[in-house]
Every structure is written in structure tokens, then in C-alpha cells.
Amino acid sequence: MPGLRVVDVGCGGPEAWSEVEPVTGAGLVLVRHGVFRRLADGVPSVLDPTVAYLQRPGQEQRIAHPAGADACTSIGLDAAIADRFGAGGPFPMAGAADLTHRRLMARAGSGADAAELADLATELLVAAAATASGRDIDPPGVTTRVRRLVDDARTRLAADPALPLDTLAAAVGVSPWYLSRVFHAATGTTVSLHRRRLRTRAALDAILDRTHGLADVAARAGFADQAHLTRSVRAETGVTPGAVRAMLR
């Protein structure tokens, strides 16, 4: 695909905001591990493995890494493709699209040919563009204070998905009931479902690289057992962990 450039980016920068960084090219950015904060043209956002965003030339951004090292994929785009994303996010990435993202990186790392990688990249961009338009605007009633509170909760969950709701609520200074309500209002999903999505994405890389058996993957990602992992992966991606591994054969 003309104008397409895929880069694996790993960062372990400080918790504090970086110096201002000018954005020189359009690109879709997807998080694979960890969490980071972005301040673009004065607008803050939290980026974890459940979301993606589009960066545009001319933006000025600052980045902070509140939970240590993180990794993301940056897909450079030409202007015609970037325009399909509207304002650009952050916007949620469906589980099936995230699986395509991880398959793309796994296949690139194992030396797949350019035609296969182009097909996977195109599939990923089509899925991402379908959810990008209009998703960067907060729903009615989500104030700046609520957004900051929910962003704080998302940052903590990305760093430790095992945090119980009451512990998470205490950490951000509100009641569990209030956090549940505003989290759903701001994100369109519940805290428990968001936690499952984080755990599923953490499991996908281990499933794809075949380093561990599925029971070990389940335990490392915080699932009760392999059956729990299978149900969650199927719910998020539409396929089982075994089918995920078979995709790379």
C-alpha cells in the first residue's frame, strides 16, 4: 500500500511530561503493552491497549510514561488514508482489530512476505477507520473532572489489571459506585469489561509467540484457568486461543 510505514516503538521514558515534540507525519498509533499519556495541542489523553489514535502533521505533543516501559505500533500514512480517520481519536479498538494488529507485528517479526503484510495492514486500517470517526468527543455529561478521574482509573488498571474495584476507587478518591457510573458514561463499558479486555490483550502476544502453553498464558494474564482464557479470547476476538495460534501456521 503506497505511503504505509510500520514501526515498532518501545519507550521507557520518565513519568513527567516530555519536552514538546512536533509531529512531522500522519500516523495511526496502537498500544500493545503498558500505558502512556499524551498531551496534543493542549488536549490530554490516556493510551492503553484498548484504544488507538491518529497523529497529524503540525500537532505539538508531549508524552509521559506513568507506569514505566510501554510498546506501541506506529503506522505512517499518506494524507489520503489519514483523512479517512476524521479527527482521529483516541478511539476504541475492537478485539478482532487488535488481533489483526498483533498478527501483523508477529508476521513482520517472523519474516512474512510484503504481500501478506500489506493485506494484514489494510485489514487493520479498514477496521480502525470504521470506529475512528467522531469517537474523540466526550459523551454529554462527561466533564473535564470526570474525564480526568476516568483517565486516572484507566492508567492504574493498565498498570495492574488485577486491582479490585474498591481498591481502584479508593486510589482515585471516589466511591466504587460513583466510579462504576462515570467510567461507563465516559467509556461506554464497565470497569470489569475493560479489565477483561486488558487481560485478553496481554494474553494475545503470548498466544501468538508460542513461548508458553495456554494454561500458563491464562495464569500469567490473570485468568482463573485455561477455560476462562478461552471464553474471554473468543468473546473479544471471535476465535479461540488455539485458532489464534493456528493463524500463524
* Domains identified in the chain, total number: 3
Q: Give the C-alpha distances (Å, rounded to integers) separating 232 from 10, 62, 158, 236, 240.
A: 27, 34, 17, 6, 9
Is residue 137 in a domain?
no
41 and 85 housed in the same domain: yes
- What is the structure's pLDDT at 249? 64
CA-to-CA distance for 86 and 95, rounded, in angstroms?
21
Q: Closest Cα to residue 159, out of 49, 18, 45, 29?
A: 49
Statement: residue 3 has pLDDT above 60: no
Cβ 193 vs Cβ 183: under 8 Å? no
34 and 127 housed in the same domain: yes
Is residue 48 in a domain?
yes
Length of the chain: 249
36 and 128 housed in the same domain: yes
Give residue 76's region: left, alpha or beta (phi > 0; psi -120 to 50).
Answer: beta
215 and 179 housed in the same domain: no
Is residue 209 in a domain?
yes
Statement: residue 2 has pLDDT above 90: no
CA-to-CA distance for 100 and 122, rounded, in angstroms?
10
214 and 149 housed in the same domain: no
178 and 202 housed in the same domain: no
126 and 51 housed in the same domain: yes
Statement: residue 13 has pLDDT above 80: no
CA-to-CA distance for 104 and 118, rounded, in angstroms?
9
- What is the structure's pLDDT at 176? 97
Residue 43: Cβ-neighbour burial (10 angstroms; 0-12, 13-18, 19+):
exposed
Enumerate the β-bridge partners of residue 31: 72
225 and 206 housed in the same domain: yes
173 and 207 housed in the same domain: no
pTM of the model as a whole: 0.89
216 and 181 housed in the same domain: no
| Domain assignment of residue 227, given as a range | 193-246
CA-to-CA distance for 230 and 209, rounded, in angstroms?
17
183 and 76 housed in the same domain: no
Share of the chain above pLDDT 70, in %: 95
Q: Which whole number is the average pLDDT over 123-147?
A: 79
55 and 171 housed in the same domain: no
Statement: residue 215 has pLDDT above 90: yes
Cβ 75 vs Cβ 6: under 8 Å? yes
Is residue 64 in a domain?
yes
CA-to-CA distance for 228 and 176, rounded, in angstroms?
25
CA-to-CA distance for 154 and 35, rounded, in angstroms?
9
